[in-house]
Structures are given as C-alpha cells and as structure tokens.
Structure 1
Amino acid sequence: MQRKAYVPGTAALLVALLAGCSSGSADSGTTDDANPGEAGTATAVAQPGKYRTLPEPCGAVGHSTLDTLLPGIKQIADPDQREAAYAGDATLTYDTDRKVGCRWKVESTDATDHLLVDFERVVSYDNAVSDDSQAQTIFATKETAADLPEPTASATASDTESNSASASGSASASDSATPSATPSSSSSASASDSTSASPTASASPTGLEPRTLSGLGDEAFLDDALSSSGSTAQQRTVTVVFRTSNVIVTIEYEEQPATVGVVPDSQKMQDRARKLAAQLADSLNG
C-alpha cells in the first residue's frame, strides 16, 4: 500500500494555532481577575454613640426627689409599704441595654401622683448613619408627635428665667407662682404652694405652654396637658423629653387631685419635672 506524503507546512500551522490559543487564554485570565476602581478604597463607618449602657431606672431617682414629686409617699405609715413605694416598679423590657424604665404611683389625702422615667439607648444598624444621628431622628419624631405650639416671647422668657434658676439652685425661683414673680422671699414659695390645689388655677398659665427647652441635654422639649373626665377631678400630665448623644430620656409626671374642681398647679409640676430631668442629665454625663 502506498503511504501519503507528510507535509511540513501543516505541522507548522498547527503549532501556530496552539500557541495563539494559549496566549488568548492567559490574556483572558488576566482581564477577569482585574477589578478596576475597587483597589485601595475603604467604606467610611459612622461613629458609635457615646453611651453603651443604661442606668438602673428605679435607682436613678433619689428618695428626696421622690418626696417632692410624690408628696403622699411620706404619709405611708407602714415602713414596708413606704419602702416599696420608693422602690417603684420596673417597666417591662426585653433588652435592658436598649430600653429601661420605672413607674411610681402614690396616693395622698390631696391627690394621686404618677411618675414614669424612661431611658432609651439608640443604636443605628446602618453603617452610614451614626447612633447620634439616628437618635436625633427619633427625638424629632417624638417632638413632632407632641405638636408643640409656635413659641411665644413670654414662653421664651419663662424658659430662660427657669434655666437660670435651675443653674443657681434657687428653690424660691422655681417655686414662684408666675414666671415674672420676684423670687426674693419664702412667702413667694408659700404662695405658689397654696395655689397648687386652687380651683381657680389657670389651665394654661402664660409662659408655661408646651415648648422646646434650652440648656437640657443636646435638645429637649416640654409638654403640659390638662384632661378632664367629666365628674372626676382634672388630671395634669407634664412630660419632659431630652436627648443627650444617643440616649433619649422621657419623664411623665401626672397628678389628679382628690377633689373635683381642683386644678393641679402647672408651674409647680413643670419645675419639679424639669429639676428631675436636669438631675438625670447630670448623672448620665457624670
């Protein structure tokens, strides 16, 4: 049988084709491994908040402060019951690192008083949003929900005077009957105390309207609401909310007189709630 002749040019062509395929594969691998634009870049992470824990809420308010806000507590004759009243009741929470609170309720011959203190530590789960920024957003939502009226000149002046009184620790200034009263004698404090249970006390005293507050945390506001249940006595609720870094503190102070027609004193209740707020702000910063 006659064999076919071997052609050298065919072998050379095969070698050239194989070399080209190998070169293309290497180039393709280099292109696939490259990630232009990503090398050397880093994602900026927002800063965490100042606070990583929260205080024990029922221990955050001292006995002397509770004596002032809940006058009936000293009228409790039984020592065990009185101690239980001081201890308060912790609010239900599922994460004590994020939210805690405590309630007190005390009845006296003149009125029933309620106090709630709530601490909320805000944590942002968005790397682009800091804890403080998230807390600002939540605080703004609370302030919007309070539907505060537009500030007036009298309210601004009252807030400024009250802040000065708190800073100086003047008891007579905080107990004065009106924002413009001169806190120079103990008789002014007595006059204020006497109006606490007065049926003629104003429901919305000038300068005591719901408003934003200065000098308390990073931002704060106060709400004051008077409700009536028909034949029962009117109940006043004073709420102070303030934010310091990524912690939001809410204080709700309620009083319902035992006598129908008696109106709780707005000035006194606001002063007491704001003093407590200042104490809590100091303890957080201390």
Structure 2
Amino acid sequence: MQRKAYVPGTAALLVALLAGCSSGSADSGTTDDANPGEAGTSTAVAQPGKYRTLPEPCGAVSQGTLDSLLPGIKQITDAEQREAAYAGEATLTFDTDRKVGCRWKVESTDATDHLLVDFERVVSYDNAVSDDNQAQTIFATKETAADLPEPTASATASDSASDSASASDSATPSTSATPSSSASSSSSASASASVSASPTGLEPRILSGLGNDAFLDDALSSSGSTAQQRTVTVVFRTSNVIVTIEYEEQPATVGVVPDSQNMQDRARKLAAQLADSLNG
C-alpha cells in the first residue's frame, strides 16, 4: 500500500491559524481593561472632617450654666422634679452619629425659660467636597435664613468687647464632650423686627472668635395679650460640626420685656464653653 506523502505547507498553515487565535484572545483581554493611559491612577478624595462622633447633648451643659440660664430651676422644691429639670429631654433623632440635641424648660415666679442645644455632624458624600466645606455651605444657608442686618460700627465694637468677656468666662471648666437642625421660626424672624427690639450694639450679627464661623440672632415676639417672648439664637461651626443654641424667655407679667443683653451674654458664654469642649 502506498503511503500518503507528508505536506509541510499544511502544517505551517495550521500553526499560523492557531497563533492567530491565541493572539486574538490576548487582544480581547486588553479591551476590558481601563482606558489607555489611565491605568494605575486614582481619584483624589477630599479630607474627612475633624469630628467622627458627637457629645451626649443633655450632659454637655454644666449644672452651673443651667442655673444661670434657667433661674427657676433652683426654685423647684421637689428633689426628683429638680433632678429631672437638670437632666433635660433629648430631642428625637434617627442617627445619633449625625445629629443630637437636648431641651430644657423651667418655669419660675418671674418667667418661663427654654433652652435647646443641638449638634449636627456634617458628612459630605461627594469625594470632591470635604466635610468641612460641606459644613461651611450648610452654615451659610442658616446664616442667610437668619436675614441678619448689615453690621454697624457700634455693633462691631460691642461684639469685640463681648468676645473678650466670653473668652474669659469660657475658661471656667465645663462638662467635657467628645467631638448635627436649623434654627426655629422665632429665631429667623425678620431683621427689622429684631433690630427694633434690641438696644444698639446688640442687633443680630456675625460673631468673631467663636469656632470657624458664628452668628447671633435676637428676636422679640410682637406685643399682644400675652407677655413678649425673646429668643436669642447662637449658631457656630467648628470644622464639620454645627452647634445651635436657642434660648427663650417669656416673662410671667404682661408688659415686661426680657433683657436682651443678659440673654445674649448667657447664650454666648454657653456657646464658648461648648466650643472649648469640642476642641478639648
């Protein structure tokens, strides 16, 4: 039987075909990779904020400070009721890592006083925006909503003097806090009403020397059949935490107007203590 001759050309053709298939497989793998020239690169992520936690709000205000802001608390004769008044009531929150607050309400023979302390920790979900910058944007929104009047020379001078006093008072030890809500409708009353209700130099204004940014609002409710209520609001930002203090007083007697300077001084002293506590 005659054997078939071996044809070298056929073998070479098979080798070439196999090599082509192998080369095609490698090319398809390259197509699935990242865009050419971008391999190994990474997107810069904005810095996280300084604070990762928030303080326990009802424990953030010292007993001595509560005595000052809520004079009626000492008039409570029942020990359990007095203890409950000091303890305050935590505000409703769904995420204690992001927002916490506490309220106090105390009646006395002269007036009813309310105090709210609110902490908000801002977190940016945009890799291009830091937590601090996002907090600054939110603070600016609150400041705009407060509709503060244009600063005057007398207000600036008064504020500088108050800053020095607050700095001195804030050296007093306060409850430690581990380093978040907008102001109420009362605190965002129109600038014209607030200015007319406040003595010169005590108008709603930007505050200096308190956190990274701060402002104060002072609003007096319109007169009517009931006593007028004054609401002093201090809002400040330190890094990615925004703190809001609302201090309200309504006298028991119609015609009596709550003292603007005293209320502002008390609210600002508390703000200075909370700022020191956060930075401590």
TM-score range, shorter chain: 0.7 to 0.9
Deviations 1:220-267 (A, max 9, x none): 000000003511010000000000011100000000111111111101
2:205 touches 2:216 (CA, 8 Å); kept in 1?
yes
Deviations 1:197-231 (A, max 9, x none): 99999822001000000000111000000003511
Which shows bigger deviation, 236-245 or 26-35? Answer: 26-35
Alpha-carbon distance between aligned partners in 2 of 1:242 and 1:187, rounded to the nearest angstrom: 12
Alpha-carbon distance between aligned partners in 2 of 1:204 and 1:105, rounded to the nearest angstrom: 24
Using the size of structure 1 for normalisation, the TM-score is: 0.78
1:26 CA drift (Å): 5.6
1:37 CA drift (Å): 2.1
2:111 touches 2:249 (CA, 8 Å); kept in 1?
yes
Over alpha carbons, which structure has the higher Rg?
A: 1
1:175 CA drift (Å): 12
Q: 1:23 to 1:119 in 2, by over 3 A?
A: closer
Q: Which one has more relative contact order, counting CA pairs under 8 Å at least 6 apart?
A: 2
2:193 touches 2:220 (CA, 8 Å); kept in 1?
no
Percent identical pairs in the alignment equals 90
Deviations 1:10-45 (A, max 9, x none): 999898778767766665665665730221211111
1:44 corresponds to: 44
1:172 touches 1:189 (CA, 8 Å); kept in 2?
no
Which shows bigger deviation, 43-52 or 189-198? Answer: 189-198
Query: How well do the aligned residues superpose, as a CA RMSD in angstroms?
Result: 9.1
Alpha-carbon distance between aligned partners in 1 of 2:24 and 2:74, rounded to the nearest angstrom: 92
Q: Which runs of 4+ in 1 moved over 4 A?
A: 1-34, 166-202
2:213 to 219, 228, 250: 219
Alpha-carbon distance between aligned partners in 1 of 2:2 and 2:178, rounded to the nearest angstrom: 134
1:2 CA drift (Å): 17
Aligned length: 280
Alpha-carbon distance between aligned partners in 1 of 2:188 and 2:60, rounded to the nearest angstrom: 30
Alpha-carbon distance between aligned partners in 1 of 2:223 and 2:195, rounded to the nearest angstrom: 18
Which shows bigger deviation, 241-250 or 22-31? Answer: 22-31
1:188 CA drift (Å): 36
Alpha-carbon distance between aligned partners in 2 of 1:94 and 1:210, rounded to the nearest angstrom: 32
What pairs with 1:103-114 in structure 2 (closer than 5 Å)? 103-114=103-114
Deviations 1:145-188 (A, max 9, x none): 101111111111111xxxxxx99998799999999999999999
1:13 corresponds to: 13
Q: Structure 1 residue 169 and structure 2 residue 173: aligned?
A: no
1:197 touches 1:264 (CA, 8 Å); kept in 2?
no
Alpha-carbon distance between aligned partners in 1 of 2:176 and 2:186, rounded to the nearest angstrom: 12
